[in-house]
Amino acid sequence: MNKTMPLLRLTTLTWLLILGFVQFAWAVDEIVVGGWNIENLGRPDQRGGAGKGVPQHPADLANYIRSSEVHILGLEKISVDKSEGRSLTNETLDDVVKILNSDSEANWRYRVFRPKGSRARVRLTAVMWNEAILKPVGDPLPLIVPGKPDCWKHPPTVMKFSAGERKTDIVIILIYMKSDRKGVGQAIKQRAAEAKRRVEWFGKVLTKFSDQDLIIIGDVNALNGSEDALRKFTGTGFVDLNSQDVPTYIGKLAGPLDRAFVPDNQPEFSGSNMEVVKSADMSPEEFRKKLSDYYMVKFTLNVMDDDG
């Protein structure tokens, strides 16, 4: 008998177990996508109301994210603590990721974005994802139209993710639109100008990623779904998952400021409904003090054989 046979069998068994684990880690029927404006994360001095001067603690953030069961999360109002080359980091998010990754099989990562040429360190956008479920495909795409003055103070960034070989790919367009802070009338016009760029976006996105499963998610700052900026999105083949104008902001002027738009003709999004993620452990006042003046929003899409 060949003495190497038991070793070969053992090696083969080991690889089968490893491959089985990898397939299990990727074997999900649904992907949960979230969006959250974490009020000036890393800069408690710039928070307002009950949260003024109160730093958000990583454990509180991690518990809330874990309870939401999201697999990928678009973020707004993130501050930068360090900048090394193209890598931007937030120390609180670093700790949140460590806590989330203490769960078995979790492999959370994040990436912070800022406009090319900008030195801004506050109010930036970011994406977090669990790489045990979704893997990024290619490099992020900043949606800046060359040769034109950009009306977006926070230009959208796009990332593509895959749920597995020949399975659903999703392309997330993370948006953070003009707020009403300096006047409602002017802000409405500004948001309409921002949304008008959508046609130029879609051409760039489809050219780079060749995928129809586009998700637009983020803080749109519009007080209702009838605003011209939002109708520009829904008028080009997208469904507003917060068409009922469910409030997402915590405060006296609570409003439906966060939205997600998904294609109206892609089967992966059939039955998708947006949910506002509240906390079972905190009152709205406590939530605003400890975490943010915004709740997270989320929705679920189906994992299917990829149709491009």
Q: Is the pLDDT of residue 217 over 50?
A: yes
- Dihedral over alpha carbons 245, 51, 59, 221 (to 10 degrees): 30
Domains and CATH numbers, the chain: 29-302 (3.60.10.10)
pLDDT tens sequence across 11-68 = 544 444 444 444 434 558 999 999 999 999 999 999 999 999 999 999 999 999 999 9
pLDDT tens sequence across 138-193 = 999 988 755 555 678 888 999 999 999 889 999 999 999 999 988 899 999 999 98
CA distances (Å), origin 149, targets 155, 174, 195, 257: 12, 20, 14, 26
**How would residue 9 be classed by pLDDT, with cut points 50, 70 and 90?**
very low
Give the pair of three-digit tokens for residue 32: 């949960």
CA distances (Å), origin 217, targets 73, 136, 158: 10, 17, 11
* Predicted TM-score (pTM) of this structure: 0.88
% of the chain beyond a pLDDT of 90: 68
Q: Is the pLDDT of residue 114 over 80?
A: yes
Distance CA 300, CA 238 (A): 16
